[in-house]
Amino acid sequence: MELISQELNTRLDSIVTFAFFLNRQLDRSMSLLSVKFKLLKTSALLHKKFAHFFPTFADFLSEYQDSRGMLTVYGETPKADFDANSHIELFEMFLEEFIKYQDMIEDVIDACIAEKDHMTKAFLDGYLLKLNPYIQSAENVLDVAKMYGVDPLGMQLFDSEIEHCLTV
């Protein structure tokens, strides 16, 4: 028995797919941080904290879909071969993408309200709360990186202090 409408489930699939998109983008970003910008500690820490979070987050949602008798469709994600001029540019991208993800979830919550799917709305409300510390951390990382700047000494000082920026 389907306990979520097909239309709403398709929108949940989009959230799952975007989580894998974020994982792929973050993996590429970690490579850039490490190889191009020599922020080795930052790359290792953010890879573990940010990039690894999103596939787990997607699995959490697909398990919910399963529990409601719905199948999950995993959409395609684009190739991650972008470049950046600075680590700050990457951090701006993180924050922008995390906020896009939040907006996507909020749009589906609005659809849940319209369909009177209280169970899925409650699940997504909790899902959104789990995302919040990642958005806060992305904002902190960006703000602190901007304070240290893009000169080599500032970047290495930032790299040595990265763990103090995170709330996750």
Q: Give yes or no for residue 2 having a pLDDT over 90.
A: no
Half-sphere exposure of 154 (CA within 13 A, CB side): 11
pLDDT band at 1 (very low <50, low <70, confident <90, very high): confident
Residue 54 clears pLDDT 90, i.e. is over it: yes
Count of helices and strands (H, E) across the chain = 6, 0
- pTM confidence score: 0.94
Q: Give the range of the structural domain holding residue 110, as residue numbers without chain letter.
A: 6-74+81-165
Quick check: 155 pLDDT over 80? yes
1 within a domain of the structure (yes/no): no
Task: Identify whether 47 is part of a domain.
Answer: yes
pLDDT digits (tens, 9 = 90+) for 70-81: 999 999 999 999
pLDDT band at 45 (very low <50, low <70, confident <90, very high): very high
In angstroms and rounded to an integer, the radius of gyration of the C-alpha atoms of the chain is: 17
Query: Which CATH number characterizes residue 135's domain?
Result: 1.20.1260.10
Q: How far apart are CA 117 and CA 2, in angstroms?
A: 12
In a domain, 106, yes or no: yes
User: Given this model, what pLDDT does residue 137 score?
Assistant: 97
Average pLDDT, the chain: 96
CA within 13 Å, CB half, 131: 27
Mean pLDDT of 58-76: 97
Query: What span, in angstroms and rounded, lies between the C-alpha atoms of 96 and 19?
Result: 14
pLDDT tens for residues 87-146? Answer: 999 999 999 999 999 999 999 999 999 999 999 999 999 999 999 999 999 999 999 999
Q: Strand, helix or coil at 152? A: helix
Number of compact structural domains in the chain: 1
The confidence score (pLDDT) of residue 40 equals 97
pLDDT at position 3 is 94
